[in-house]
Structure 1
Amino acid sequence: MLIDQKAFHIKELDYIIRCAQLEDAQALSDLRLQLDGETENFDREQGEAFIDQAGFEQLIQQDTASPKNLCLVAVVGDQIVGYSRCEGSPLKRLAHKVTFGVGVRKAFWGHGIGKALLQVSIDWADANGVRKMALEVLETNEKAIQLYEKWGFTVEGILKNDKCLADGKYYHTIIMGRWQP
């Protein structure tokens, strides 16, 4: 699905949030690989489950065509520095909800980019009859958990000892959801 782009100016940084376009595919592939190496907040280690340019082109085409999907990018100047994705299901019993995920380059943390991507996604979901947004977040990602709670997400469950990180310890994954009656 497509939305109008939105401009933001936060902490001396100008950026826009817009729908991903086919010409963004290579930059998204590169960004995803970089993000996986910058933080352990994702399920993947760097290079795992790699999506190449063609793979992102296919995702962007699917998301653009589907009324239940939304793929956004955050752009500073001419550089994509973050992205988010809402993915719905074609199954009737799950048609009321989407799963949300987000990633922002570490060099751009603290400028509200993740918050802006979330805000635009929630606005889209509310305007398009999405009743529930669901997400998973690592228990150590306290800033993200606080942000999600501010936007109406609540803890719905905990997957105990769900991920083993580089330190060899196991961490819980928190399942959160936001219900729009």
Structure 2
Amino acid sequence: MDLIIRPIRESDAQDYVRLMEQIERETQYGKFEPGERIPSVEFYTSKIQQVRADEYDEIFLAILDGQLIGRAKAEGKPSRKSGHCLYLSACVIYRLQRQGVGESLVREAEEWAKQKGITRIETSVVSQNRTGVQFWRKMGYQIEGTRRNAFCLFEEMMDEYLMAKVEPVGVRVDGWKFPRW
């Protein structure tokens, strides 16, 4: 498998629309149901431009044989108090799950975050999504809390786990600066 992981470009907008539509059709535990939102190339072009303009946001794409097959989205926090944190989500088309694509995406995003001085990466998973919870645990994330009745899926209220991976930063020394300032 010749997998390419790289940051998103404006020219990816049309393929990105198709990727997100496919993922929303295939996943049970996404934040949107199929057809609930109607993304357009213009919408995603604008989102990509925003990501490109913000040095603490990034979208990484997984590409196999010229086709987008997954993405990891890193969203930084804009304040001094939480500038060391970011929120990370990842998704891969169903037929290529459990083949290392998600792991490659997350590792690339984590390496990027480390270079930015990020020491805390957060994510969230519907608690009934055992595959998702297992994946994030395998990647070193721990459950830190639960949002009760956070989602209504299959006409049932479901909880959401808040998970995080925290890198130790050690003891502060003179001259040490927080990321972003």
Unmatched runs of 5 consecutive residues or more in structure 2? 169-181
1:78 and 2:66 are equivalent in the alignment: yes
Query: Cα distance, 1:177 vs. partner?
Result: 0.9
Q: Give the secondary structure class of the aligned counterpart of 2:70.
A: strand
Q: Give the secondary structure class of the aligned counterpart of 1:137.
A: strand
Contact 1:88–1:99, Cα closer than 8 Å, also in 2: yes
CA distance in 2, matches of 1:49, 1:95: 30
1:154 and 2:113 are equivalent in the alignment: no
Over the aligned positions, Cα root-mean-square deviation in angstroms equals 1.4
1:50 and 2:50 are equivalent in the alignment: no
Letter of the 1:27 counterpart: D
Query: Cα distance, 1:74 vs. partner?
Result: 0.5
Q: Give the secondary structure class of the aligned counterpart of 1:92.
A: coil
CA distance in 1, matches of 2:66, 2:104: 18
| Corresponding residue of 1:5 | none
Query: Following superposition, which runs of at least 4 residues in structure 1 exceed 4 angstroms of deviation?
Result: none
Larger radius of gyration: 2
| Corresponding residue of 2:177 | none
| Corresponding residue of 2:167 | 180
Letter of the 1:178 counterpart: K
How high is the TM-score relative to the length of structure 2?
Answer: 0.87
| Corresponding residue of 2:156 | 169
Letter of the 1:64 counterpart: R
* Count of matched residue positions in the alignment of Structure 1 and Structure 2: 168
What's the % identity of the aligned pairs? 26
1:1-181 to structure 2, matched below 5 A, reads: 13-166=1-154, 168-181=155-168
Q: For each residue in 1:136-178, what CA deviation from the matched residue of structure 2 results, as whole angstroms up to 9, or x when unmatched?
A: 1011222222222232211111112221212x22211110011
How high is the TM-score relative to the length of structure 1?
Answer: 0.87
Query: Cα distance, 1:114 vs. partner?
Result: 0.8
CA distance in 2, matches of 1:47, 1:103: 18
Q: For each residue in 1:91-115, what CA deviation from the matched residue of structure 2 results, as whole angstroms up to 9, or x when unmatched?
A: 2222111111111111211211111
Q: For each residue in 1:6-64, what CA deviation from the matched residue of structure 2 results, as whole angstroms up to 9, or x when unmatched?
A: xxxxxxx2211111111110111121111111112211101223331112112222222
Change (3 A) 1:118 1:159: same
Q: Give the secondary structure class of the aligned counterpart of 2:78.
A: coil
Letter of the 2:15 counterpart: A
CA distance in 2, matches of 1:40, 1:92: 36
Letter of the 2:165 counterpart: R
Unmatched runs of 5 consecutive residues or more in structure 1? 1-12
Contact 2:29–2:129, Cα closer than 8 Å, also in 1: yes
